[in-house]
Structure 1
């Protein structure tokens, strides 16, 4: 992998953000952006536990999804208070996925403001994500193809970002929004996955209060380095082309894959893994044999 440094700013105006990052769809890390919130001191695990401690939450781990089960089915349930205590006291790969603030913790809506960066937020689903110090999230892109503003709190996090045009080198699984499950992005094996060595992306380390702008369709791999959580603010697709693509992803590709998983189980998952490998190998051969300009 060829990993470049991302632009990092301490502050940014709306005009600069729109011209330099949003319109050209280029990621940027805004250091400490959440510190502008009046209730910034409440953005910690203890506050979450106090507000939502009795809620039962679904937990996920680092293992690949079981082909016999729905891809969004958690591995276990636990009270939020017990989960937070667990990840604070010991290493854990358990994480919470897509905890919608408006449904489950509306009190938190009073504790932040939407940054005025010039694009419209989809205010129905500001979403929390939690992870222990061993948790990681499979390389994927968001199916709704929205532009994302991703804030990190408490612990540090490592993020890898790749533009959509790098999909062919990332071993993208057909009819899915993720790559093959057996790629280790912390210690990549370029002999087993040679195309991966030619993928160009960014490596980012996030700290408490930082915000990362991830443009639509960007691939991202998240690795919690310490127990922590994040909130993602998103916008809907703004162009007709992107909207049509989003509807295709959500309704056609996802449900086709869901039906095939239910019918063929392991055979379907294994077929897609092999297909992803073949597709990336073809892309690699094409890249290596392409004549220079």
Structure 2
């Protein structure tokens, strides 16, 4: 894959962000954007254990999607205190994602403010994501194709991004938001996934207090190099094409996929994974013919 380093800036004005990153839809890492937040000094795994230790949290690992697991059903549950101990004491694939702190631990809202980047952030949807060393998310994009600001705390996280224009090279699974789950985007096997070599994207490693801007609908893969967590804030897509695609995903695609899972079970999932390969390979065959 052709991966360029994501640009980095220490500080940026709202006007510069809009002009140089939002309008051209390019990612950027803001290195010192939240040093005035109480969260910058307070938020680490020990603090989360202290403030939310009694909360029961849903956990997910890296196993491929299986019909028997249910749709978005957690693979395990435990108290946050026990989960933090697990993260700190041994490698684990268990992750927390889309954990709404407004609902679960309202006091955490006092530790941050909504930054003014020139976009209207959705204040009801701050989400936390946790992971252990070497755990990762499958390459995916968000259902609403939002503009995302990803605030990282504690540890280091490896990130790989692709714009929607690279979808044809990523072995996208049809009727879903993910690529084929067998691909290791940290160390891809080009003999097995040859078309990935045509993909052009971005990479970076996030450390405590850094903020990653991911433009509308960007594909993203994230791997925890050490135990840690992040918070995401989002703003609605502005591009009419992306808004239309988001509406289709939310109102039609996800319900169709759920229906087909109920009707065909694992056969539907297996068919989608095979199609991810055959459709992507076909695009290469078409290119060669031309």
Aligned position for 2:44: 44
Give the drift of 1:239: 4.3
Distance change (3 Å), C-alpha of 1:13 and 1:261: same
Distance across 2 between alignment mates of 1:32 and 1:157:
17
Q: Work out whether residues 156 and 226 of structure 2, in 8 Å CA contact, stay in contact via their aligned partners in 1.
A: yes
Q: Work out whether residues 32 and 208 of structure 1, in 8 Å CA contact, stay in contact via their aligned partners in 2.
A: no
Secondary structure of 2:35 counterpart? helix
Q: Work out whether residues 166 and 199 of structure 1, in 8 Å CA contact, stay in contact via their aligned partners in 2.
A: yes
RMSD: 1.3
Given the alignment of the two structures, is residue 164 of structure 1 paired with residue 167 of structure 2, yes or no? no
Distance across 2 between alignment mates of 1:46 and 1:191:
43
CA offsets, 1:89-125, max 9 Å, x none? 1111111011001101111111011221100000001
CA offsets, 1:129-164, max 9 Å, x none? 000012100000000111000011111000000000
Distance change (3 Å), C-alpha of 1:39 and 1:196: closer
Of residues 14-23 and 243-252 in structure 1, the stretch that sits farther from structure 2 once superposed is 243-252
How many aligned positions are there?
Answer: 290
Distance change (3 Å), C-alpha of 1:38 and 1:250: same
Using the size of structure 1 for normalisation, the TM-score is 0.96
Give the drift of 1:71: 2.9
Give the drift of 1:288: 4.1
Secondary structure of 2:87 counterpart? helix
Distance across 1 between alignment mates of 2:195 and 2:220:
17
Distance across 1 between alignment mates of 2:42 and 2:71:
33
Aligned position for 2:6: 6
Give the drift of 1:187: 1.8
Secondary structure of 1:15 counterpart? helix
Aligned position for 2:115: 115
CA offsets, 1:16-50, max 9 Å, x none? 00000011111001113222314421111111111
Aligned position for 1:86: 86
Distance across 1 between alignment mates of 2:205 and 2:288:
32
Using the size of structure 2 for normalisation, the TM-score is 0.97
Aligned position for 1:54: 54
Any stretches of 5+ residues in structure 1 without a counterpart? none
Distance change (3 Å), C-alpha of 1:239 and 1:200: closer
Of residues 117-126 and 36-45 in structure 1, the stretch that sits farther from structure 2 once superposed is 36-45
CA offsets, 1:242-292, max 9 Å, x none? 3332121012101111111122122111111111111111222334455xx
Secondary structure of 2:197 counterpart? helix
Any stretches of 5+ residues in structure 2 without a counterpart? none
Distance across 1 between alignment mates of 2:72 and 2:230:
19
Distance across 2 between alignment mates of 1:284 and 1:71:
32
Q: Work out whether residues 65 and 269 of structure 2, in 8 Å CA contact, stay in contact via their aligned partners in 1.
A: no
Aligned position for 1:226: 226
Aligned position for 2:19: 19
Aligned position for 1:73: 73
1:170-185 superposed matches below 5 A:
170-185=170-185
Secondary structure of 1:123 counterpart? coil
Given the alignment of the two structures, is residue 135 of structure 1 paired with residue 124 of structure 2, yes or no? no
Given the alignment of the two structures, is residue 214 of structure 1 paired with residue 214 of structure 2, yes or no? yes
